[in-house]
Chains A and B, each alone.
Chain A
Amino acid sequence: MDNFSKTPLYEEHVKLGAKMVEYGGFLMPLEYTSIKQEHESVRNKAGIFDVSHMGEVMITGVDATRFMEKLYSNDVVNCPNFKVTYGFMLNESGGVIDDMMVYKFNDEKYFLVFNAANAQKDYDHIIKTMKGYKVEVEDLRITCALVAVQGPLAVDMVQAIVEDDIVSLKFMSFKEVKINGETCIISRTGYTGEDGFEIYTSNENIKYIWSELLKNPDIAPAGLGCRDTLRFEASLPLYGQEIDENITPLEAGLGFGVKFNHDFIGKEALLKLKEDGIKRTSVGIELLDRGIPRHGYKVLINDEEIGYITTGYMSITLNKPIAMALIDVRYAQVGTKVEVLIRNKKVKAVVRDKKFYQKTYKK
């Protein structure tokens, strides 16, 4: 286990008795008490996640906007300052190198947040793409720590430790604030479908924030286990499941993160895909018989394979076996009867929408 990185909060997780697992090259908490309890804490009260494993870079320079237009599928030109957008770094075939959040400070300064498991690949891609642009890339992968505070009570708890007002901060917006005397980036964002915040700070200050917030009896430390069950119910994608280098954002139903009003890597391939017609698409699936649909299970119609489950669970909030699946677009209409192959048994299921859980963002 010595080859894995640790976040600055590693000792805190061990002290809390977390079950630690390897994820994206880091030793991370899977659960402290149980996935179910932590999931319910986030839905009903609040939870705090250590997500310091995420990768971050700061892009600055006179060409920063022009560079971002090339690197990133979403629109940065028309994005107001201090807004966050979600989009993709794509390969030439339109497949996803990684999905990411982009924080626009101004036309010459952008903060990028991407997946830990892809951090080295992403960083290399950014460095390769920056040739010919007057930009600087500051690598913050190790020096920037991150916690997510999520749930209906998050706003009051976070406000209590921040000097500046954050109650009026809108969903997908950010600002720089002082916490414990140190300047931090705080955004009204998250990966759970609940209202909440993400706080970027130094490796030292994160310990202060973690322990201050956990003094509140209504907040639970929450692990990666429930992070996945929560994001799934909010039908948010996970890299490696809903998207990867061979799945385009258009197929994954994430076209909102792609704007064709600028030239980005992968644009030509996506335009061609649109012209030729998209062959597969992401849908919701609900089992009609007993079982749990899981990642990789085949989806069938009359014994013919029409796609596969990308993520599935016995939903904790809905208490139903539901999934997201990537299937042949001809069978994607809601109500289509399908079967999911579970341990060589065909289990009856139906195509449904992906609105598993009504998100509660503060727009």
Chain B
Amino acid sequence: MSKVVEGLYYAKTHEWLKVEGDVALIGITDYAQDSLGDVVFVDLPSVGDSFDKEDSFGAVESVKAASDLMMPVGGEVIEVNEELNDAPELLNEDPYANFIIKIKVNDLDELNDLLDAKAYEELTK
């Protein structure tokens, strides 16, 4: 059974969002890291890159495959988690404590399309 954290927003593409004001941290869920297996590389965007909702902003690569990272909402990248360059396995060890990017959200209304913890748990059952 994968772990789901209360209070976060979830995308059907298995990213989580932690929102504070108009800023959000984005990471991948426990379900995602478990399906991927050993993460060996994270392809990060650059600070200043802008993406629309559902754009691919990078990729998480396990030993066996590459998996696109999708924007749960549109926004501009204001920070990337550089630690993942040297320690991509952090996403396996604690996917909720290790964000991938921090963004400035364009339109907070887009959050309404995302799932809450309960709905996401249901999805990944």
Measured CB to CB, the residues of A under 8 A from B are 30-31, 34-36, 225, 228-229, 290-292, 294, 313-314, 316, 321, 343
Are B64 and A225 in contact, CB atoms less than 8 angstroms apart? yes
Q: With A31-B37, A35-B38 in contact, do A291 and B64 touch (Cβ < 8 Å)? A: no
Closest approach, in angstroms, between the C-beta of B89 and any C-beta of chain A? Answer: 9
Are A292 and B66 in contact, CB atoms less than 8 angstroms apart? yes
Which chain A residue has the least Cβ–Cβ distance from B40?
A314
* Interface of chain B residues 41 through 80 with chain A (CB within 8 A): 41, 43, 56, 59, 61, 63-66, 68
Are B40 and A34 in contact, CB atoms less than 8 angstroms apart? no
Are A34 and B66 in contact, CB atoms less than 8 angstroms apart? no
Are A229 and B63 in contact, CB atoms less than 8 angstroms apart? yes
Q: Which of A36, A290, A291, A343 is the one whose CB lies under 8 Å from B63?
A: A36
Are A225 and B59 in contact, CB atoms less than 8 angstroms apart? no
Contacts of B85 on A, CB cut-off 8 Å?
Answer: 290
* Distance between Cα atoms of A316 and B89 in the complex (Å): 13
Are A314 and B41 in contact, CB atoms less than 8 angstroms apart? yes
Are B43 and A343 in contact, CB atoms less than 8 angstroms apart? yes
Determine the main DSSP class of A at the interface with B. mixed
* Distance between Cα atoms of A222 and B92 in the complex (Å): 20
Q: Which of B37, B56, B66, B68 is the one whose CB lies under 8 Å from A294?
A: B66
Contacts of B65 on A, CB cut-off 8 Å?
Answer: 294
Closest approach, in angstroms, between the C-beta of B57 and any C-beta of chain A? Answer: 11
Which chain B residue has the least Cβ–Cβ distance from A294?
B66
* Distance between Cα atoms of A313 and B43 in the complex (Å): 15
Other A-B pairs, 11, CB within 8 Å; known A225-B37, A314-B41, A343-B68: A31-B37, A34-B38, A35-B38, A290-B43, A292-B40, A292-B66, A294-B66, A313-B63, A314-B61, A321-B41, A343-B56
* Distance between Cα atoms of A313 and B65 in the complex (Å): 9
Contacts of A31 on B, CB cut-off 8 Å?
Answer: 37
Are A343 and B37 in contact, CB atoms less than 8 angstroms apart? no
Are A291 and B37 in contact, CB atoms less than 8 angstroms apart? no
Are A291 and B43 in contact, CB atoms less than 8 angstroms apart? yes
Contacts of A343 on B, CB cut-off 8 Å?
Answer: 43, 56, 59, 66, 68
* Distance between Cα atoms of A321 and B63 in the complex (Å): 11
Are A35 and B63 in contact, CB atoms less than 8 angstroms apart? yes
Contacts of A228 on B, CB cut-off 8 Å?
Answer: 64
Closest approach, in angstroms, between the C-beta of B22 and any C-beta of chain A? Answer: 29
What 3 A-B pairs have minimum CB-CB distances, sorted nearest first? A314-B40, A35-B63, A36-B38
* Distance between Cα atoms of A322 and B16 in the complex (Å): 31
* Distance between Cα atoms of A36 and B37 in the complex (Å): 9
Q: Which of B38, B41, B68 is the one whose CB lies under 8 Å from A292?
A: B41
Contacts of A225 on B, CB cut-off 8 Å?
Answer: 37, 63-64
15 residue pairs A–B, Cβ–Cβ below 8 Å:
A35-B38, A36-B38, A36-B63, A225-B63, A229-B63, A290-B41, A290-B43, A290-B85, A292-B40, A294-B66, A313-B63, A314-B40, A316-B63, A321-B41, A343-B56
* Distance between Cα atoms of A292 and B64 in the complex (Å): 10
* Distance between Cα atoms of A225 and B65 in the complex (Å): 11
Contacts of A229 on B, CB cut-off 8 Å?
Answer: 63
Contacts of B64 on A, CB cut-off 8 Å?
Answer: 30, 35, 225, 228
* Distance between Cα atoms of A263 and B37 in the complex (Å): 47
Which chain A residue has the least Cβ–Cβ distance from B61?
A292
Contacts of A34 on B, CB cut-off 8 Å?
Answer: 37-38
* Distance between Cα atoms of A93 and B68 in the complex (Å): 39
Contacts of B37 on A, CB cut-off 8 Å?
Answer: 31, 34-35, 225
Contacts of A30 on B, CB cut-off 8 Å?
Answer: 64
* Distance between Cα atoms of A2 and B43 in the complex (Å): 37
Closest approach, in angstroms, between the C-beta of B72 and any C-beta of chain A? Answer: 19
Which chain B residue has the least Cβ–Cβ distance from A225?
B64
Closest approach, in angstroms, between the C-beta of B63 and any C-beta of chain A? Answer: 4
Closest approach, in angstroms, between the C-beta of A327 and any C-beta of chain B? Answer: 21
Which chain A residue has the least Cβ–Cβ distance from B59?
A343
* Distance between Cα atoms of A292 and B37 in the complex (Å): 16
Closest approach, in angstroms, between the C-beta of B43 and any C-beta of chain A? Answer: 7
Contacts of B68 on A, CB cut-off 8 Å?
Answer: 343
* Distance between Cα atoms of A290 and B59 in the complex (Å): 12
Are A314 and B43 in contact, CB atoms less than 8 angstroms apart? no
Contacts of B56 on A, CB cut-off 8 Å?
Answer: 343
Are A314 and B59 in contact, CB atoms less than 8 angstroms apart? no
